[in-house]
Amino acid sequence: MCPNIPPLAFRFHTTVRTIALACLALALLASCSSQKPAEPSSNPSQSARTSAPKLPQFETGRAAFQKTYLSARMWAPDVQPFRLQSQYTADAPVSEGKAGLWRASFASPAKRAMKMFIWSGLVGADAPEQGVSFGSEDSWSSSNSSTQVFEIGFLKTDSDQAFSVAQKHGGEKLLEKDPKQPVFFVLDWQPQKNTLLWHVVYGASMDDAKLNVAVDATSGEFVRAEK
């Protein structure tokens, strides 16, 4: 038989045990709270997308024109185009009629003003930011023959088709001699003949062009070749 424990001693042992259990519980809580929650694991594919460098983009004339036209309509609802011109870069797939930068010029008869809108797909320190940007507003007159506007409906032939025609009229021979020959495209209205023309220019600029082939932007037919 167990010896009888006096009531006072029994209460003492019970109090000590209660205090010990309470201290143990506090220690466990402190231990749990000191542990940092595990950080969520990063998504490798998302990180790759974020850190992946931008790639250059290239568009045909009509595709780039449509993008600039949407922005131009926000500037003035009555806008009409009068010129579209590409900028040559060595990596552009010219044989597909594409370029990494297109400049589209629009006029607003109501504002008597004109504005240039630029679509860029280029990358690099000196390249315009990808997307559509615009230049400053300038005065415009309908009597200026060099800025004659045209109806969008005349643009039925794209720059890739114009390039194919130009190749058959002297362009192919030039590129055979020099595969790195610069080529750029200009679209404008010819008021003398009421015709919208693509100019496929083999050269760094109009002034030093080795060949300039004009193609009807509506029918896609060859018009003339100038050297």
Going from N- to C-terminal start, the domains of the chain cover: 59-226
What 3-state DSSP class applies to 110?
coil
What pLDDT sits at residue 81? Answer: 98
Give residue 52's pLDDT band: very low, low, confident or very high (50, 70, 90). Answer: confident
How many other C-beta atoms lie within 10 A of the C-beta of residue 100?
Answer: 25
What is the C-alpha end-to-end distance of the chain, expressed in Å?
A: 126
Mean pLDDT of the chain: 85
What average pLDDT does the segment 168-183 reach?
96
Of 38-42, 114-118, 125-129, the poorest mean pLDDT is in 38-42
What average pLDDT does the segment 87-95 reach?
95
How many other C-beta atoms lie within 10 A of the C-beta of residue 157?
Answer: 23
Give residue 126's pLDDT band: very low, low, confident or very high (50, 70, 90). Answer: confident
What 3-state DSSP class applies to 154?
helix
Which is higher by pLDDT, 126 or 39?
126
Measured at the alpha carbon of residue 137, what is the angle toward residues 136 and 141, in degrees to the nearest 5?
A: 145
What pLDDT sits at residue 205? Answer: 93
Going 187 to 193 to 195 to 200, the CA torsion angle's sign is negative
Per cent of the chain over pLDDT 90 is 71
What pLDDT sits at residue 1? Answer: 45
Q: What is the rounded distance in angstroms from the CA atom of residue 179 to the CA atom of residue 173?
A: 10
pLDDT in tens, 1-42: 444 544 544 444 444 455 444 445 444 444 544 445 455 545
- Highest mean pLDDT among 4-8, 43-47, 217-221 belongs to 217-221
